[in-house]
Amino acid sequence: MASLLCRRVQESLIFESNVNVQSKEDNSPVTVADWSVQATVSWVLSQAFGSENVFIVAEEDVETLSRCDSVGLLDAVAKTVNDSLAEAPSFGIRPPAAPLNTSEVLEAISRCNSPGGPTGRFWVLDPVDGTLGFVRGDQYAIALALIEDGEPVLGVLGCPNYPMKKEWLSYQNGYQRIVSRLASPSSTSWNRGCVIYAKKASGVAWMQPLLEKEKKFVWPNSAREIKVSTIDNPALATLCEPVEKANSSHSFTAGLAHSVGLRNEPLRVYSMVKYAAIARGDAEIFMKFARAGYKEKIWDHAAGVVIIQEAGGVVTDAGGHPLCFSRGMYLEGLDRGIIASSGATLHEKIIRAVDASWNSSSL
């Protein structure tokens, strides 16, 4: 549901230029989709488990939407949420008895105020991970994870623009959009979109394609098991890294890639689609080393960690330790950076390279 919602908002944003784009205090863009997804997911989880049993750590709050000068934006969010919930029966979900009013939409969003922590059960949601990619018509993800006593036990990634053919990942987003607009609905030249999910200790990760018929998703459809790549030769491996340089050092990862023997051009992708790429076998390594002062948020990694691990991969910090999701909204105690790999052999080589070159880095 959230993937369909985002796809429609993104198309309006790109082709109609009539979608509200706000700016948060940290200057990252927030669209109608962020708040609409958060309200929709919050409402559905509350209906399934009871609002008193649902605790969500999420990125957006209601401060901007609650301002008196945001009435138009709030109305747009409410309409988007109600349009999405009206299609709930197609996904096996009971819709609300009546459209949600703006107060109910704000209530659903404000329910996402859990501080997280080491005990109990809570959800972690990034309604639109990779908002810059979303605004630019590129890759983004809807990321949801369930945390129990500090450990992620369920991960779900909605990747509405993820191409079924991995070669398309390296094409620029403008070219992708042109081809997708020109291709017929039945064409296989640009099949895109999937939901990837996994449960801890199940030993399997699944991918459900987002199949459309007459602009509506066909759900459920045939999910298939996905596995990480079997490549363990660095010369044949592909590295994923963030597009933006603002919170990640491309120069340091480039040095590491060279020292380990990676020869392929890096695949620069927005959002947790990088985790999806490794889980699906389209890439082998993801490294992120943040600049001083930047703190990683748990909603940017929780879902992806579960999915890669169950698909057969490895995710740790640069010291080889599991990521810690039990200390609130940040990954506290992170050793230098984050490394995700398709297998232990590549993972160990990256960690050794980090140890050998860290003192000469400027991070």
Is residue 138 part of the annotated active site? The answer reads no
Residue 16: how many other CB atoms lie within 10 Å:
8
* Sign, Cα dihedral of 136, 141, 142, 148: negative
317 annotated as belonging to a binding site for a ligand: no
Which is catalytic among the residues 31, 40, 80, 131? 131
Residue with tokens 């459809």: 221
Task: Tell me how far apart the alpha carbons of residues 265 and 250 are, in angstroms, rounded to a whole number.
Answer: 12
Is residue 34 part of the annotated active site? The answer reads yes
Which residues in 91-127 are b (16+ Cβ under 10 Å) and which e? eeeebeeeebebebbbbbbbbbebebbeeeebbbbbb
355 annotated as belonging to a binding site for a ligand: no
Residue with tokens 């199940």: 202
69 annotated as belonging to a binding site for a ligand: no
Which is catalytic among the residues 34, 138, 282, 317? 34
59 annotated as belonging to a binding site for a ligand: yes
Q: Are 209 and 164 in contact (CB under 8 A)?
A: yes
Catalytic residue ranges: 34, 131
- Binding-site residues for Mg(2+): 59, 126, 129, 300
